[in-house]
Amino acid sequence: MTYYQFATPVQAIGLACVPVDHLPDVEIMARRSVAVAVVSIASDAEGRPTITASCPTAARDPEFPLPYLVNEALVAGAETIVSPADRAVLAADASARRFFVEPSLARLTSGETVIDPASLAGDIYGDEAVLYQRLHIPTLARSDASNAALWDKRLTLPLKTAALAEAVSRLMLWAHFGAFREAEAGIFFETMLALRDWMHGQVDSAPELYGWATSRPVLRAQSFEHDYRQALKRGQGEPWITFESGLSIV
């Protein structure tokens, strides 16, 4: 089977945060991350796009701090989809404890190879939540206060799910605009189909993610998967779908 080849890996980062009580007047810095998800897509040795995911949580005892675990989870050389607010939170978390060195995380927080999800539609308009709604991409809206209640009860699995959900939503958002800007349908199709297969394997550990696997963008890619694969085999270098193809899009 023929696949679109990703020139470089692309990773998306999602956070689950709790409030920092002594900083009530600084919105961004009044948050502390307790779970961070890194979800990436890349072409493997056989050319097949594959999804990898890591979701560390903060240690409650003096063990490896969360910034160090995030640093280890980052994919070297990958373009990274993360918001400026989340980069600020990660930078503050890493700077609060200097027992470890996190060079990859430092480059990320400084803005190297970073994509702001809110700016994917262009500089004129930027609202991540509205873009999700406009493109029918599901999100898992959970407040920092709700996360704090779960964290106090030592329920880390829902926090991991929240971070994973945000990372997956950001990767789906990037696939829409990446396919449009590069005029390459493969970016959209390969990302959605790879995410679908990966999310089906998360039903037991993160059942909320099944809503992402059956979302409108994934089902749209699934509906036209056969036509997309046939166009790749032909390799004509022309638009893979035209009005003359006789396909009905509902």
In a domain, 1, yes or no: no
In a domain, 110, yes or no: yes
Output the pLDDT for position 61: 58
Percent of the chain with pLDDT over 70: 87
In a domain, 248, yes or no: no
127, exposed or middle or buried, with CB in 10 Å at 0-12, 13-18, 19+?
exposed
Output the pLDDT for position 63: 66
Task: Answer yes or no: is pLDDT of 192 > 90.
Answer: yes
With beta carbons less than 8 A apart as the criterion, state whether 48 and 3 touch.
yes
Q: Which residue has the higher pLDDT, 100 or 35?
A: 35
In a domain, 46, yes or no: yes
Q: How far apart are CA 15 and CA 24, in angstroms?
A: 20
In a domain, 223, yes or no: yes
In this prediction, residue 62 has a pLDDT band, given cuts at 50, 70 and 90, of low
Model confidence pTM above 0.85? yes
In a domain, 3, yes or no: no
Based on the structure, what is the number of domains in the chain? 1
In a domain, 246, yes or no: no
Question: Domain limits at 160?
Answer: 10-240
In a domain, 249, yes or no: no
